[in-house]
Amino acid sequence: MLSFLELSTKAKMPIVGLGTWRSSPGKVKEAVKVAIDAGYHHIDCAYLYENQNEVGEAIQEKIQEKAVKREDLFIVSKDMEELVDEGLVKAIGIASFNHFQIERLLNKLGLKYKPVTNQVFDFKLSDKEMATILSFNRNWRFFLVEELADLDEYPFNAEY
């Protein structure tokens, strides 16, 4: 099995990474450091997670310890095109977009960089686990931001 995917930009994205969403404050820094020590080079983070300071501190400490080089890390964030222009990010990706969101993004006037990946989960479930999942209401989402539900571009009103 491959340990990374080569993106259209030629950047190599490790297949397995550490997600930092809902990581406990005061603990995420240590989690990132342990992950890097264990060989993880793919760290998923975002401003919305509100833990970027701890994630950044952990990465900086591991770089200073020479446990890892910055260029060997693939930090997934929800950043802007300007960061590609400045050479601060390797590529732009999206996460869990539905087909309407992807189409709207690709048709955006002046789009400089197309996303190179739509981050989704890929794993194998047992027949029993699949039967349980298939018994669920399939148009239900776990994470809803109901304050935004009336907006035209609210993503959870559409099928995937």
Q: Looking at the annotation, which residues are catalytic? A: 49
Cβ atoms within 10 Å of 57's Cβ, excluding its own: 14
Q: Report helix, strand or coil for 146.
A: helix
Tell me which H or E stretch contains 86.
none
Cα–Cα distance measured from residue 34 to residue 62, given in angstroms and rounded to the nearest whole number: 10
- Max Cα–Cα distance, the chain, nearest Å: 50
Burial, 20: exposed, middle or buried (Cβ in 10 Å; 0-12, 13-18, 19+)?
buried
Contact (Cβ atoms closer than 8 angstroms) between residue 130 and residue 138: no
Instruction: Give the bridge partners for 96, in sequence order.
Output: none
